[in-house]
Amino acid sequence: MDAKCDGPDASGKILTRKRRRLPARYAAIVSPLVLSLLMTFIVSFISTLKSLGFQPSLPAMWLTAWGLSWLVAFPTLLLVLPAVRRIVDWLCEPAAR
């Protein structure tokens, strides 16, 4: 949904505000950015939990591991994504048009 309802104004008329979005040309950067953030967040938590177990220092250690892993993952994704797309194109049938 592109609009956000802010609620009625004094006259009872419902006001909407359009959500601002990035231009399509940024998708090639935003996609690996979001993917690297989510994947490293989850994987670093699992790895840190397995190594340390539940303990009071877990959140601090996890966030340190996550930051370091994201610093490696994001540039790596930017570099390997073109090769991954070519491999997927080679393995999969093209989408029907």
In angstroms, how far is the first alpha carbon of the chain from the final one?
A: 26
Note the Cα 61 to chain centre separation in Å.
21
Mean local confidence (pLDDT), 75-93? 94
Q: How confident is the model at residue 2 (pLDDT cuts 50, 70, 90)?
A: very low
Q: Report, as an integer, the average pLDDT of 22-49.
A: 94
The letter for the amino acid at 75 is P
Boundaries of domain holding 46: 30-91
Model confidence, pTM: 0.69
The pLDDT tens digits of the residues spanning 41-51 come to 999 999 999 99
Q: Choose among 69, 74, 2, 86: nearest CA to 31.
A: 74
Region 60-87 average pLDDT: 95
Distance CA 46, CA 73 (A): 16
Q: Has residue 81 been placed in a domain?
A: yes
Q: Answer yes or no: is 8 within a domain.
A: no
Residue 23 lies in a domain: no
pLDDT for 56-68, tens place per residue? Answer: 999 999 999 999 9
